[in-house]
Amino acid sequence: MARALVIGGGPAGLMAAEELAAAGHAVLVAEKMPTMGRKLLMAGKSGLNLTKVEDPDAFAAAYGAMPGALRAALDGFGPDAVQGWARDLGQPVFTGSTGRVFPQAMKASPLLRSWLARLAGAGVELRTRWRWTGWEDGAAVFDTPDGLQRVEADATVLAPGGASWARLGSDGAWAATLPDHVAPFRPANMGFGVDWSGHMRPHFGAAVKPVALIAGARRERGEFVVSARGVEGGGIYAVSADLRDGAALALDLVPDLGPEEALRRLSRPRGKASLSNHLRKALKLDPVRMALLREFARPLPQDPAALAAVVKALPVPLRGPHPIDEAISTAGGLRFDALDETLMLRARPGVFAAGEMLDWEAPTGGYLLTACLATGRMAGRAAATWAASAG
């Protein structure tokens, strides 16, 4: 029996541990936080989005220009496999109208409890408050409540997470151990600051829908929330990478109407009605969309064609992204060119990597968790094969 080490107790690390244990290896999972899966639990508080059921090409497109290893991982463990995995843990799932898949319990805690119990039953050792500090003479070194611990392993899987939500363990501190192989971290799936005028204050907390968000060449139907600090929510996250990289944001406030229909409605005689009332009646704009129009198109154009144009593409000046520690996920991390096709570090044979520490990004909607599970599975299987040959 070979000895295997997994560093990180999130979804990627736990999936790797399960694969290693299934192959018959003795597995130790070292997690620096007081409990396993803290970010998973937080993500599940508003409904745990496990994966998304959609056309395979559309699913793959959510990850942008995918490295070959990531594509191979997702080909081996995609949306169908994620659903089967959840059911095997006693958590029935359902698919919402948008294709997003959730456990019927909606929360992460029942799934995580079942998973940890299954790992314990397989003999996996789970250690918390073990902070990895690097290697020394081939052994992984940890600061623990019982002092310095050194672990020698036949195979190791690194899965310490990205660099967002430090309070939950994802602080990116591990990057100092692999400085030559890490692309700089950047926020992903984050909100953006907006310098609101005082008249927007009554609308803080309001959801903006229906709306389409336009960022450069990308157009996404979604919704978002107006907050005191700016804009955030699923619609913003879907275009956040483009906005972060310099694209301007515009809003189509009437995405169900084509430009010609919007112009036709706004060209109707308005009689004695004010322009605001004419807009509300002609386009059925609710108060928050009317407020956004007044905020960013002052004064409102009187010409119907100009007014229709701004309604269909309202510019929204952004101050910049919210801090990385407030982002749901991160771009950057361990570069794929530092890994071989099995996710093993070229510079450290027998050490594999998985999860959010890798240099990939995707929008929310089930893509993040699916890729963490898929890369954890791939790294765990490859590490199991390596450990068997080493042992």
Indicate the residue type of 41.
L
Packing angle between helix 79-88 and helix 367-390, nearest 10 degrees? 80
Residue 172, SS3 per DSSP: coil
Q: Which of 46-50, 154-158, 287-291, 317-321 has the lowest mean pLDDT?
A: 46-50
CA dihedral 188, 194, 199, 205 (to 10 degrees): 10
Q: Between 97 and 5, name the one with better pLDDT.
A: 5
Rounded mean pLDDT of 150-162? Answer: 97
Choose among 105, 119, 146: nearest CA to 36: 119
- 3-state DSSP call for residue 335? coil
Among 50, 69, 3, CA closest to 377: 69
Higher pLDDT: 1 or 382? It is: 382
- Closest-CA residue to 374 (of 34, 66, 1): 66
Q: What is the mean pLDDT of residues 317-328?
A: 95
pLDDT at 44 over 80: no
Residue type, 52: K
Bridge partners, residue 150, by sequence: 141
Query: Is 323 strand, coil or helix?
Result: coil
Q: What is the per-residue pLDDT across 52-82, written as a single tens digit (0 to 9) for each?
A: 999 999 999 999 999 999 999 999 999 999 9
Pairing of strands 192-193, 155-158: unpaired
Instruction: Cite the DSSP H helix spans in the chain.
Output: 11-22, 38-43, 56-61, 68-76, 79-88, 109-121, 234-244, 259-266, 275-283, 287-296, 304-312, 367-390
Domain boundaries, the chain: 3-187+323-390, 192-321
Task: Provide the token pair at 94.
Answer: 């359902």
Q: Where residue 95 falls among pLDDT bands split at 50, 70, 90?
A: very high
**Distance from chain centroid for Cα 222:** 16
Q: How far apart are CA 286 and CA 293, in angstroms?
A: 11
By the 10 Å C-beta count (0-12 exposed, 13-18 middle, 19+ buried), 229 is classed as middle
- Any idea which fold 3-187+323-390 has? FAD/NAD(P)-binding domain (3.50.50)
Give the whole-angstrom CA distance, residue 42 versus residue 295: 34
In contact, 292 and 251? CB cutoff 8 Å:
yes
Q: Is 50 exposed, middle or buried (0-12, 13-18, 19+ CB in 10 A)?
A: buried
Residue pLDDT, tens place only, 231-266: 999 999 999 999 999 999 999 999 999 999 999 999
